[in-house]
Structure 1
Amino acid sequence: MLINKDRSSQKTLSWRDLSDDAVGKLLKERGSLVLGRILVFSGIVFLLALFLPWRQTIPGVGAVTALRPQDRPQTIQNQIGGRIEYWAVTEGQEVKKGDTILVLSETSQSYFDPMLPLRLEEQLNAKQSGEDAANQKMKATEAQIQALRNGLEFQLESAKNKVIQAQNMVKIDSAELVAVMSFLETSEKRLKRYEEGYRDGLFSLTDIETRRLNLQNDRAKVVSADNKLSNSRQSLTNASIELNNIRAKYNESLAKAQSDLSSAFSSKASVQGDIAKLRNEISNIDVRRGLYVVRAPQDGFIVKTFKAGIGENMKEGESVATLQPKKPLLAVELYVNAMDVPLIEPESDVRLQFDGWPSIQFSGWPSVAVGTFAGKVSVIDKVSSTNGRFRILIRATDPVPEGDEPWPIQLNQGSGAYGRVILNKVPLWYEIWRQLNGFPPSLEREPKEREKK
């Protein structure tokens, strides 16, 4: 009974009944036990967390831009030099394609004359008259050449006939000379026989004298026939020379006529060149007068003007204002490290943050990110930028994934952006090990295997 009383009395003891040493000893033993349990639980949780799935990402920093070149901010230039006469817009104003931005007046002395197009038209008409005259000269020269050819044909025919006649006369005179020489030879033989007969007393002296006279006549005929043949041959030579003279004169006249024709052609070509030049000047003046008004190349907003005031001179090709196109197809240009570029492929998913839109993004768990926007890799540059990094262009995902919001309509080009290109899933322990060793993200398979598949 006493023992039971002692036990019951011990149960009713409070910490107030214990000494200070006993209380300290008791708390120390219980604190170590609780701390140990906490450390063991934390270690188990940490080990389990190491095997959680982790989504690898490639970070990049950039800004909002336009996917198409025509949607990016552009400068408006004047195509001709002039003096500012009138501003039709103000900064921040919306303009339509073809709206007047600026009106210029002429400053070049070459275009001061208000009747300059009329003056050029008069010069053009004069040049066209010169072209007509050149055409008429060409026609007259061609007719002259044709007449020369026709005249040459008749003259050559006549000269050839004369040559043929002379050749025939030479043949006739040659035959006559041969006949006369035969007669002379016969007369000489007869005279010789008569002289022998005279010595024998057969013929009288009168017969001898008659035969001698006939012989002299035959000799005279031979000389005459020979002279006639010489004259015929000279006539043939003269006829041939005349034929050659006719051809030479024709060639000379033809060469002169062809020279005149070539001069007419050259004159016509020169006049045609002057006409083309005048027409070009007239067209240039018409176009130039249409360029006194600087117009908007497309719909957009005037962001900033580079010139001010009225009466200020502007050079040709000088920038007038900056135009931001309306309704651009927005994109984000991110700059990533060169080591990470080979791991990025077109159409890779990207999570984006924009300046002015607060967001919370978890690197390894993009599914729990708050305030981020979805995108797709559209362009990967083949060369690095000036900062040594590679640029990638990100477009908005279309259609918008379920649970995401479309990109804000208030985005402006040039706004800052931060993004992460989403890659493969790996265990958390592998990602920690990779980061500690500075290794690049891993690939599910090699690029060659992707191409084969």
Structure 2
Amino acid sequence: MRIEHVTGTIGERLPVDVKALDLVYEKDRKRYMQKWVWVLLAVIVVFLFLPWTQNIRSTGFVTTVNQDDRPQELNSQIPGKIIKWYVKEGDFVQAGDTIVQLGEIKDDYLDPNLIPKTQEQIAQNENKARFYEGKAATSQQQMQYLLEQRDLKMASLDNKRIQIERKIQAKQLEVQAAKVDEQQAREQLERAKTMLEKEAISKFDFERRNATFQKALAAVTDKQNELDNLRQDLLINKLDISNATQEYAEKIAKAQGDQFASSGAVAEAKEKVASLSIKKQNIEQRSGYYFLVAPQSGQVIKAMKAGINEIVKEGEKIVEIVPQDIDYAVELFVSPMDLPLVDIGQKVRFMFDGFPAIVFSGWPAASYGTYGGKVIAVESNRSINGKFRILVAEDSTDRHWPPGLRLGSGASGFALLKDVPVWYELWRNINGFPPEFYKLDKPAAKGDKKE
């Protein structure tokens, strides 16, 4: 392109040949920028409508499904000192293999003849119990004999009392009859005295009637004395009954006291036997704690004691055993806001530390090096880190987890949720909204009626 004239500062038109303009303005070349912009916009629009799988990201650690598959501490149940090690760290042991031997350090258990001596004490107290049982039985028999004797004695005294009371009743009648006779003799003597003064009878008849009166008076006195003696006998009988009651009560109380004392001695001896039996059993049980054995097959790690004769406290950890054949699981921690989106049976994808992976969280099918799992437990209470713990086991329908997993290694997981367009996921993240909430379809229980 040529410019033949250029206007100068003073308005003159000068002839100029400018070749640089041909290099700056290339009007004849085709331009493709607009086409590429439209293509890029079309690709972006298509991308925004692609399906995106929503997910919840979380991190955690490799653990086990069952508690007994996790590392087990081997603790000493008694205080003691280490006598001998049978394994070293890193060794694999079978269930029941001896790990370490302990020796006794408490004074109460140092005697090697402690069990025979304890058994001898048990036998002595058993004999003592049998002796006092026999003594208690004898006291019981003696008390029964005294009761029978007391009943017989009381029956005899009661019969005697009845006889005396009957004699008293009869004697009272005799006294009354003698008093009647004495009154008649007195009246006859008075009439005889009057008749004697009138000389109507002889002095002999008067003396005879006087003798009759004296005889009747003596009979009254005699009968009254007999009645008083019977009453005295009745009083004595009552005293005998009281004395016999007190005497047998004392004897029975003494026999009963002996029985109670013997029974107490029996109970004390049996209690001693029970205490010694428990002590013997504890000693025998304690002797079984001198050899610590592996509770299950696995690898010995984390030995807490280094050498021989080191003191071990009761309940102190000695080694740790990691089981061999275990079912791995992953424990993840999710935030409270994401917890309602997690449910039993939820599918989860994993990346394990140490295993390379290429992850497209929104397109799990396009990811490489990830492993599948299913949620088997969701805790109802939050952990100390403020999040909720979930337990994820291996998905049997997916590929197996790598054999090189170790307990405690790290894992990153993302729970797969609902499929949404990419534009929706971008809009959701920009606005800070949670993922779509939905529940897994569960099979209907038997007996449920279809509507």
TM-score of the aligned structures, taking structure 1 as reference length = 0.89
- Counterpart residue identity of residue 176, structure 1: E
Give the superposition deviation at 1:22.
4.7
Q: Does 1:62 align with 2:60?
A: yes
Instruction: Give distance in 1, aligned partners of 2:88 and 2:79.
Output: 22
User: What residue is the counterpart of 2:342 in the other structure?
Assistant: 344
Give the superposition deviation at 1:58.
0.7
User: What residue is the counterpart of 1:298 in the other structure?
Assistant: 296
Give the superposition deviation at 1:106.
1.5
Instruction: Give distance in 1, aligned partners of 2:206 and 2:431.
Output: 156
User: What residue is the counterpart of 1:269 in the other structure?
Assistant: 267
- Counterpart residue identity of residue 415, structure 2: V
Give the superposition deviation at 1:273.
0.9
Q: Secondary structure at the match of 2:380?
A: coil
User: What residue is the counterpart of 1:430 in the other structure?
Assistant: 424
Give the superposition deviation at 1:446.
11
Instruction: Give distance in 1, aligned partners of 2:425 and 2:436.
Output: 10
Give CA deviations for 1:339-368 in whole Å, capped at 9, x if unaligned.
Answer: 000111101000011011111121211111
Instruction: Give distance in 2, aligned partners of 1:171 and 1:288.
Output: 85
Does the CA-based 8 Å contact 2:341-2:438 persist in structure 1? no
Q: Secondary structure at the match of 2:338?
A: helix
Moved more, 122-131 or 411-420: 122-131
The 5 A counterparts of 1:190-339 are 190-339=188-337
- Where does the alignment leave 5 or more consecutive residues of structure 2 unmatched? 1-17
More helix by share: 1
Moved more, 56-65 or 312-321: 312-321
User: What residue is the counterpart of 2:112 in the other structure?
Assistant: 114
Give the superposition deviation at 1:156.
1.8
- Where does the alignment leave 5 or more consecutive residues of structure 1 unmatched? 1-17
Give the superposition deviation at 1:25.
3.1
User: What residue is the counterpart of 2:15 in the other structure?
Assistant: none
User: What residue is the counterpart of 2:21 in the other structure?
Assistant: 21
Give CA deviations for 1:236-283 in whole Å, capped at 9, x if unaligned.
Answer: 121122122212211111111111001101001110111111111211
Q: Secondary structure at the match of 1:339?
A: coil
Give the superposition deviation at 1:199.
4.5
User: What residue is the counterpart of 2:3 in the other structure?
Assistant: none
Q: Secondary structure at the match of 1:26?
A: coil
User: What residue is the counterpart of 1:406 in the other structure?
Assistant: 400
Instruction: Give distance in 2, aligned partners of 1:276 and 1:100.
Output: 33
Give the superposition deviation at 1:53.
1.6
Instruction: Give distance in 2, aligned partners of 1:425 and 1:203.
Output: 163
Change (3 A) 1:281 1:446: closer
Change (3 A) 1:445 1:76: closer
- Counterpart residue identity of residue 223, structure 1: T
Instruction: Give distance in 2, aligned partners of 1:310 and 1:375.
Output: 46
Change (3 A) 1:346 1:72: same
User: What residue is the counterpart of 2:143 in the other structure?
Assistant: 145
Instruction: Give distance in 1, aligned partners of 2:359 and 2:180.
Output: 141
- Counterpart residue identity of residue 412, structure 2: Y
- Counterpart residue identity of residue 220, structure 1: A
Change (3 A) 1:80 1:221: same
Q: Does 1:40 align with 2:38?
A: yes
Give CA deviations for 1:183-223 in whole Å, capped at 9, x if unaligned.
Answer: 11211222233334345543233323332332222222212
Q: Secondary structure at the match of 1:305?
A: coil
What is the RMSD computed on CA atoms of the aligned residues?
A: 2.2
Give the superposition deviation at 1:81.
1.4
User: Which residue of the other structure, out of 58, 83, 86, is the alignment partner of 1:85?
Assistant: 83
Q: Does 1:442 align with 2:436?
A: yes
Q: Secondary structure at the match of 1:210?
A: helix
Instruction: Give distance in 2, aligned partners of 1:54 and 1:206.
Output: 165
User: What residue is the counterpart of 1:182 in the other structure?
Assistant: 180
User: What residue is the counterpart of 2:129 in the other structure?
Assistant: 131
Instruction: Give distance in 1, aligned partners of 2:198 and 2:50.
Output: 171
- Counterpart residue identity of residue 421, structure 2: P
Instruction: Give distance in 2, aligned partners of 1:119 and 1:135.
Output: 24
- Counterpart residue identity of residue 26, structure 1: E
| Identity across the alignment (%) | 35
Give the superposition deviation at 1:23.
5.6
Give the superposition deviation at 1:27.
5.8
User: What residue is the counterpart of 1:3 in the other structure?
Assistant: none
Change (3 A) 1:370 1:446: closer
- Counterpart residue identity of residue 50, structure 1: L
User: Which residue of the other structure, out of 421, 426, 431, is the alignment partner of 2:415?
Assistant: 421
User: Which residue of the other structure, out of 96, 99, 103, is the alignment partner of 2:97?
Assistant: 99
Instruction: Give distance in 2, aligned partners of 1:139 and 1:27.
Output: 136
User: What residue is the counterpart of 1:4 in the other structure?
Assistant: none
- Counterpart residue identity of residue 135, structure 2: K
Instruction: Give distance in 2, aligned partners of 1:290 and 1:339.
Output: 52
Q: Secondary structure at the match of 1:338?
A: coil
Q: Secondary structure at the match of 1:375?
A: strand
Give the superposition deviation at 1:179.
0.9
TM-score of the aligned structures, taking structure 2 as reference length = 0.90
Change (3 A) 1:27 1:265: farther
